[in-house]
Amino acid sequence: MTLLTVENLTKTFHTTNGPVHAVRDVSFEVERGECLAVVGESGSGKTTLANMILGILGSTSGEIRFDGAALPAKRTATHRRAIQFVQQNPLSSLNPKRSIGASVRLGLDTYGIGIRADRWRKVEDALEEVGLSRDMRHRAPSALSGGQRQRVGIARALACEPELVVLDEPTSALDVLVQARVLRLLNDLRARKQLTYVFITHDLAVVRNVADRVAVFKSGQLIELGRTEQIFSAPEHPYTRNLIGAVPVVDYAELQLRNKLAEET
Amino acid sequence: MSHLLDIQDLHLAFKGLKGVTEVLHGVDLNIAAGERVALVGESGSGKSVTARIVLGLLQETRNARVSGRVAFDGVDITAMPLRDRARLRGTEMSMIFQDPTSSLNPTFTIGNQFAEVMRRRDPGLDQTACNVRAIEMLAEVSIPEPARVLANYPFQLSGGMNQRVMIAMALVNNPKLLLADEPGTALDVSVQAQTLRLMHDLVEKHHTAVLFISHNLGVVREFADRVYVIYRGRIVETGPTDAIFHNPGHAYTRALMDAVPRITGAGLPEVPEVSDDFLAPMVRHEGGAS
Amino acid sequence: MTHALRIIAANPLSLTGLILVLAIVLAAILAPWIAPFPTHNTAVVDFIYANSAPNGRNWMGTDLVGRDIFSRILYAYRISLGLGIVVLIIAAPIGTIVGLLAGYLGGWTESMLMRLVDVFLSIPPLVLAIAVLGVLEPTLTNAMIAVTVMWWPWYARLVYSIARSEREEGYVLAAEVIGAGTPHIAFREILPNCLPAIITKMTLDMGFVIIIASSLSFLGLGVQPPTPDLGSMVAEGARYLPDSWWMTVFPGLAILFAVFGFNLLGDGLRDVLGADE
């Protein structure tokens, strides 16, 4: 069942150096409950695409439909609540002068979720769900590690009970061990709360292990879209093949896969 | 067997308002001439400060307390006066950093910055001679139109180009040791692969030893001859790259290996973020120069 | 709080500032009780003791009509500190709101508000104050108005630069995506990040406001006699230099210590609050 439809979406920026075609005529669908990875290097348009889905940017042309209905440029509170955002940078995404509880609570207050007296409890519930202790809601972001801050960002998104979560490089700024745990957390939460993810990243190894389907972007265009296993075992587009081939690998099995893909070029 | 770089029992502590914080607890590390050695760890492990101590940068910080022995090319540089120590930088040992565009001075052209580096070895060099040599180096790092690039400012070049410029500047004085702090982390994966291959070829050609600091195991596997794994200021495992990757002995190394996602789709295993096992004693693999 | 005090105490300069400021504030508050001659802040004459050098009775000497200079300085501190506080309590919020809105909203709002700020900043401060006082009569209240008018743009500019850089931060983006309104983002997200710089500036400004106010009364435009004011005391006494040096030197030193103290304390606060980050 389709949750999000992107149809002929285009975004052109007009700069002093001429027009920049950040996203060109992109169309795809996101099924309810799946994790769709959006993969690309810098300049691929993946961040611009995410910003348009989130309503931060308007499109130049094309349409985005959510649950069947077109999403207007000016979003309603219902839409905003249903589509939440997890950012890349855990340090910058939390207000250093506010407690993390206050940051998580913002969505609840803005959307009027529950009665006011109940909201701190909901905040604490959200923190507990991402593996943090309830009393952490009083702490300042500076007292938390990068991994903990990123969990707070996830709690903030999930506290509003959204349907779709856009995650922009959610683990790229984290250490290896921390990343592993946060990725597992994201997988668990998606299954448990029946969420849908649009997972933007440049890290193909992560994609291979979290995504159901992969959309590969280059220079604003969608060049390949398919199921994860398919894309990694038999990529069609040479760009995709090169991208997979450039990933530094750790074990022998990966090396074999990479060599196999290189031979088929 | 004499090493090019020999670090023995390195301790580092910072004095703050609340007392003394120990960062390095007796690190031993050595690199032979022409050898590529990786120092692998997560943030806070002490890998970056180790490199800065080798360069002598940290000792000038007011609150830093450094002890231990660092020998470079047979000479104990910890005992060296700061001025002589400074003379080694840029000439015998040089460093490249994580974010190429912000590590280059935005207000000077590439040509000017090259000249500044070259004049460290030879103060009398004039701009024309510097430019000639700079163009040679830029060609070696496969930068197209090197003469034009010399007149450019860092913000006019891409991240990948700036990274190559930094490598070229680091190697122009033919240093014996190159320290690389997470090079390529800020770059796209395909550009990073190209850049690392380039570094690999260059250091082999110039017989430069490399201390490569990274948290990215895949990159380490492809680049390094030997590996030191550092956790919370202690070396927990060391040995030749193949030995460590095939047979990680220490609990922390094993956790790191397990935690890295594989493109073969092996899934996301349950990995501890912290564990008492990580404090187990060091595992040393024989083989390779050490 | 103790952490803050420890940081200030660790630095001898900021500790000096804190002590000076506390001393001056206490002196000002307790003036009626600690001044040897509490009535001398009004139109009192005591010609027997007029024009005497510092001695056991009058620690800082007396002025031409016999008033005790030490007592007058204590009362003058009340005026100066009072003026400083009133000015800053009005100028800082006005400037902050202008700067906050200009910095966060951008676009036309930013252009218009900051051009307004530029207009005020382009007039030399003292000239502006004199102009205002030329229109209104020279009184203490009007002096406060004049100084406030020339002071608020500096706060606007300070807060504007902070707000502009903070608006690029992730937490602002997060609030915008959630759909929080402009008042919430400006006043509850961005403003708290501006407060350290604002508070530090207010502390440093106390010294400057005192100097400006003193300059105005030196020119005869501020506080009028017989109310004691440090600037007017310096002005009156200047005519009798170098013979009756105490009439100028002590009020002058009083200004110096006040400004010095607030500056040192402000620098210390900057370290405590991290206002430079």
Residue of C nearest to B16 (CA): C7
- Is residue A17 pLDDT above 80, yes or no? yes
The complex scores an ipTM of 0.91
Between residues C236 and A95, which one has the greater pLDDT?
A95
At residue C277, the pLDDT reads 39
Q: Is residue C28 part of a domain?
A: no
Q: How far is CA C136 from CA A112, A237, C26, C44, C125, in A?
A: 51, 79, 33, 28, 17
d(CA A176, CA B56): 29
Q: What number is the average pLDDT over the span A108-120?
A: 91
* Structure tokens, B11: 């301790």
In percent, the amount of chain A with pLDDT more than 90 equals: 75
Between residues C212 and C179, which one has the greater pLDDT?
C179
Enumerate the H helices of A130-220 as residue ranges: 146-158, 176-193, 204-210
Q: In B, which residues are within 8 Å of C10 by CB distance?
A: 17
Q: What is the mean pLDDT of chain A?
A: 92
Domain ranges (residues) in chain B:
102-174
Domain CATH number, residue C246? 1.10.3720.10
Q: What number is the average pLDDT over the span C116-125?
A: 89
At residue B288, the pLDDT reads 60
Q: In C, which residues are within 8 Å of B17 by CB distance?
A: 6-7, 10
Give the neighbours of chain C: at least 3 Cβ pairs within 8 Å.
A, B
Between residues C44 and B143, which one has the greater pLDDT?
B143
At residue B233, the pLDDT reads 93
- Residue given tokens 């995404």 in the structure block: A93
CB contact residues (below 8 A), chain C span 132-161, against chain A: none
**Tell me, what DSSP letter sits at residue C243?**
T
Q: Under an 8 A CB cutoff, do B188 and A175 touch?
A: no
Q: Under an 8 A CB cutoff, do A87 and C195 touch?
A: no
Enumerate the H helices of B47-99 as residue ranges: 47-55, 82-88
- Pairing relation of β-strands B93-96 and B177-181? parallel
Strand partners, C51: none
**Tell me, what DSSP letter sits at residue C172?**
H
Q: Is residue C227 part of a domain?
A: yes
Q: What is the mean pLDDT of chain C?
A: 86
Nearest CA among B198, B204, B170 for reference residue B184:
B198
Query: Using CB atoms, which residue from B258, B259, B263 is nearest to A254?
Result: B263
Helix axes C69-105, C191-218, angle to 10 degrees: 140
> What is the pLDDT confidence band of residue C178, given thresholds at 50, 70 and 90?
very high
d(CA C148, CA C84): 9
Residue B207: how many CA atoms within 13 Å on its side-chain side? 3
Q: What is the pLDDT of residues C166-177, one digit of tens each?
A: 999 999 999 999
- Is residue A216 pLDDT above 50, yes or no? yes
Q: SS3 for C167?
A: coil
For chain B, counts of helices (H) and of strands (E): 11, 11
**Tell me, what DSSP letter sits at residue B175?**
-
At residue C1, the pLDDT reads 64
Between residues B175 and C140, which one has the greater pLDDT?
B175
Tell me whether A143 touches chain C (CB under 8 Å). Answer: no
Tell me whether A170 touches chain C (CB under 8 Å). Answer: no
Q: What number is the average pLDDT over the span A230-237?
A: 91
Q: What number is the average pLDDT over the span B157-166?
A: 88
Q: What is the pLDDT of residues B167-186, one digit of tens each?
A: 999 999 999 999 999 887 87
At residue C131, the pLDDT reads 83
- Is residue C276 pLDDT above 50, yes or no? no
In percent, the amount of chain C with pLDDT more than 70 equals: 98
**Residue-range definition of the domain harbouring residue C186:** 2-6+71-273
- Is residue B80 pLDDT above 90, yes or no? no
Q: Are C229 and C217 in contact (CB under 8 A)?
A: yes
Window from A31-40, A136-145, C6-15 with minimum mean pLDDT = C6-15
CB contact residues (below 8 A), chain C span 59-98, against chain A: none
In percent, the amount of chain A with pLDDT more than 70 equals: 100
Q: Is residue C233 part of a domain?
A: yes
Window from A35-49, A237-251, B66-80, C261-275 with minimum mean pLDDT = C261-275
Q: Under an 8 A CB cutoff, do C171 and A156 touch?
A: no
- A interface mutation test: which of C178, C190, C191 has the most A CBs within 10 A? C178
At residue B188, the pLDDT reads 82
At residue B290, the pLDDT reads 43
Q: What number is the average pLDDT over the span B242-255?
A: 92
d(CA B131, CA B139): 12
The structural domains of chain A, ordered by start, are 2-233 (3.40.50.300), 234-265 (no CATH)
* Structure tokens, A180: 């592993």
Q: Is residue C246 part of a domain?
A: yes
Between residues B60 and A157, which one has the greater pLDDT?
A157
Residue at C71: amino acid letter: S
At residue C274, the pLDDT reads 67
Window from A78-82, B10-14, B31-35, B185-189 with minimum mean pLDDT = B185-189
* Structure tokens, B280: 């187990």
At residue A49, the pLDDT reads 95
d(CA A157, CA A155): 5
At residue B186, the pLDDT reads 76
Q: Under an 8 A CB cutoff, do C179 and A106 touch?
A: no
Window from B112-121, C88-97, C265-274 with minimum mean pLDDT = C265-274
Q: How many domains does chain C have?
A: 1
Q: What is the pLDDT of residues C196-210, one digit of tens each?
A: 999 889 988 888 888
Kindly report the pTM of this predicted structure. Answer: 0.86
Q: What is the pLDDT of residues B191-240, one digit of tens each?
A: 888 888 888 998 889 899 999 999 889 999 989 999 999 999 999 999 99
Tell me whether B17 touches chain C (CB under 8 Å). Answer: yes
Q: What is the pLDDT of residues A161-204, one digit of tens each?
A: 999 999 999 998 888 999 999 999 999 999 999 999 999 998 89
C67: left (phi over 0), alpha (psi -120 to 50) or beta: beta
* Structure tokens, A21: 């075609």
Between residues A241 and A198, which one has the greater pLDDT?
A198
Nearest CA among C251, C255, C253 for reference residue C209:
C255
Window from B172-181, C129-138, C159-168 with minimum mean pLDDT = C129-138
